[in-house]
Amino acid sequence: MKTRKLGTSGLEVSVVGLGCNNFGILDVEASRKVVDRALDLGVNFLDTADIYGNRGGSEEQLGAILGARRKDVVLATKFGMAMDDDAAKARGSRAYIMGAVEDSLTRLRTDWIDLYQYHTPDSKTPMEETLRALDDLVKAGKVRAIGCSNLAASGVRDAAALARAQGLAPFVTAQDEYSLVVRGAETQLLPAIAACGMSLLPYFPLASGLLTGKYFRGSEIPAGTRFGRMTRFGDRYMSDENWRIVEALKAFCDARGRSLLELAFAWLLAHPALASVIAGATRPEQIEANVKAAQWDLTAEEFAEVNGLSAKG
């Protein structure tokens, strides 16, 4: 398994990560099988959030599953989305962060979090207050590195400048949506990430399954899949333009004896600013497929062709 650094931190993560958003919805034994298989295959990067699994369930399951293997993984979690129904809370504030991190540490049954990510911007709190609180957690050894998510390119640059000016721990990662059918990050966000020495962690790298090759235009959606369970994802991704892109990419893969899943991983990993492709899994076989998919290295010519095939507008 290849590894890459998370931005300017010393953390090395596997280029295939495991998204744990399904844990806490799956039963703990099903989640255990996924985690065990991932670790056995060399996946060392596990990404969750306090809100995953019906507010806390994912972290609780990971804490129960990892045990002595905790030391073998780079464990990432997030704070900042609503853990209760109080919409007035300032979830970027120092007081909130100090409580949220202790709750996550307890659920995860660990003394430290490797990557602690600000899940969504809080308009109620100045970024300096958020960064100072996170810097204190780094200095205390409770957090090794920090990241952001869903922050605009201007916010990424401003946070980096603030951390530099005030001597605070900087965000080393940005977790944002990026895939072959959602490439908006290329306009402003990716240049900002690169300029700040950060790494991108793409979420929805497979467009919630559209890029796995198991869906076909005009065909019935398979039962039990994400599109089958949650129609909002189908409504979001199954547009005529996305189907055109998927069909063109499928032809590209067929000509090379490759799968669409392999291309989705290979294209993302061709970006040097990207540290790891974090994909969720509900079965060990999905982890196996993801690890295999990451073994395709695109040539410069193939990368350019895929860029053209997946361009919109």
Give yes or no for a contact between 49 and 81, defined as CB atoms under 8 angstroms apart: yes
- The dihedral built from the CA positions of residue 114, 120, 125 and 127, taken in this order, carries a sign that is positive
52 belongs to the catalytic site: yes
306 backbone dihedrals φ, ψ, rounded to 5°: -65, -40
Q: Which residues of 185-199 are buried (b: 16+ CB within 10 A; e: fewer)?
A: beeebbebbeebebb
Could you give the residue ranges of the DSSP H alpha helices within the chain? Answer: 28-40, 52-66, 94-108, 127-140, 153-166, 189-195, 226-229, 231-237, 240-254, 260-269, 284-293, 300-309
Residues in the chain: 313
Contact predicate 260/253, CB 8 Å: yes
Q: How far apart are CA 208 and CA 221, in angstroms?
A: 13
Dihedral angle, C-alpha 45, 49, 54, 60, nearest 10 °: 60
Of these residues, 52, 116, 118, 215, which one is catalytic? 52
Secondary-structure breakdown of the chain: helix, strand, coil percentages, each rounded to the nearest 5: 50, 15, 35
Specify whether the CB–CB gap between 276 and 14 falls below 8 A.
yes
Query: Which active-site residues does the annotation give?
Result: 52
